[in-house]
Chains A and B, each alone.
Chain A
Amino acid sequence: MIDDRIRQAFDSVQADEELITRTMTNVTERLTEPPQTPSHWPPPRLWWWLLGALVVVVGVLLMRAVLSTPTDTLTSPNSAPQPAASSAATPSTTHPFDSRVAYRLYLEVNPALELQLNADQWVVSATGLNSDGEAVIADLTLTQRDLETALNELLAQLASAGYLNSEALLVTDIASTEDASALMTTVQSQLTEQLAAAGSSPQVETQVVDEQTADLADSYSITPTKYLAIRDLLSVDPQATVEQYCDRSITEIRHLAYQHRHGQQGLPSPNSGSGSGTGAGAGSGTGQHQTGQGSTAHPGRHGSGGRPS
């Protein structure tokens, strides 16, 4: 009974003509369609692989670029820190450095040295006038730097070596055929500023000397101030020679001259008293002789500028 009902029910189910027609049409259309090409070429997964490979390649190139950076441009923990002003102080490479000497600047605080400057007050050369002076500038790069930077490094080196104590005498001479007043002002302000910053308080003398005196001092490889001090000593001791006192300190030479004049020891030092302009150079230089930070120390009791024990 159920068999017949099932058979009769399914007999009634037939595909109508419309369904057959649509099926024939659709199947025929799909069979005659050209083979579909992939809509994405390369396929999406390949795009991801290519992107990943590109990222890896860029990363490797960046790493190689970083690793191939010259080591001198990298900060090494063992390398000495560069002064902040040094890079800014380097003259522009677009203009050639003017190596013509316009000024000669001498410094002596036992170590004696000479800086030759161009008209822009940049260091053309640095020379040690004695063995201590040569030792001081041996570790420094002063050439082709501006005066401020050079003085900064020079004073830092002198201070670290212990030369700039309160009993020292720091002598600076400026020799030039041009007007050196501007340079003298610059040097004085730089010395005052940088010595104060370094906490040093040596007695400071700054003077401008003529070219002839500087040339004579150069011939003995001493500073003009020392040359003038020796000349002053020779005026009271005709038997003495310049060479004889080249290795003596300026304070010592002045003290000897004082002794010859007054014939006794223990009198007040010629350098004593603030603002005294009676140094050995008085009357021999150009008259621009200034003494700063007056000291009451007697030159005979200690060697001026000597390395402290």
Chain B
Amino acid sequence: MSIEVSNLSFSYSHRSVLNGINFIAQENQLLSILGPNGVGKSTLFRCILGLLRGYRGQVLLNGKDIKDISIKEIAKSLAYIPQSHYPSFNYSVFDMVLMGTTIQVSAFSRPGSKQIMLVEAALERLGISHLKNRGYTQISGGERQLVLMARALVQKTKILILDEPTANLDFGNQVRVLTQMKSLAKEGYTIIQSTHNPDQTFLFSDNVLAMKDGKILSSGIPGDIFTADLIKNLYATEVNINSLYEDRVRVCIPKCAI
């Protein structure tokens, strides 16, 4: 299970958003994409998900060009976890997760007992079974993020794409969501997330892409590529990078705070 992006470029009318992006995301890996706001992370995701078609270059899903794969087939190997949002109508957590199984039933039918069991298992695994009869819009942001993760799990894909999964979450929920992502990666999932937090990548990511101006500035293992210079280049902010616990963990601290 892999995603291979080669020489991907995209522009909205005349404004170039992505410019020659190359990377490979593989199984057992959590890949984090960092970059300032508006750098094109969401556009990149939309290309990978097959939602935007007018790009140059190639996106390969398990070796096949994603432009040649139907929406239905893409949804069988790729699940998307959007930022937790408020839908127009309030659904119960259970129904919300059940929607992820839609691909397994034909257009004129509804999910059955097999799908209901999948949902129960996914809720159990993410520790949110107690929420199943609550309304999706009435639970906290962190819980909503976990619900959307459960919805992706019941879709039974091996690749998960998460758009800033820890944005707007409190500290504890950030850790809980990231821990789940990490353990899924260890089980063989391919996970791609976008994030704004360099410390998070030191703790949880296997690989990092640093993006600026629609290009990849640097990529590799977080400990190798994340230097004070790179952060300064990305976010125009002076930082010190310190190592803790015999360099098993690194932290990134803004200089103005010291």
A is bound by B: no
Binding site for A on B (CB under 8 A): none
Interface residues of A (CB under 8 A from B): none
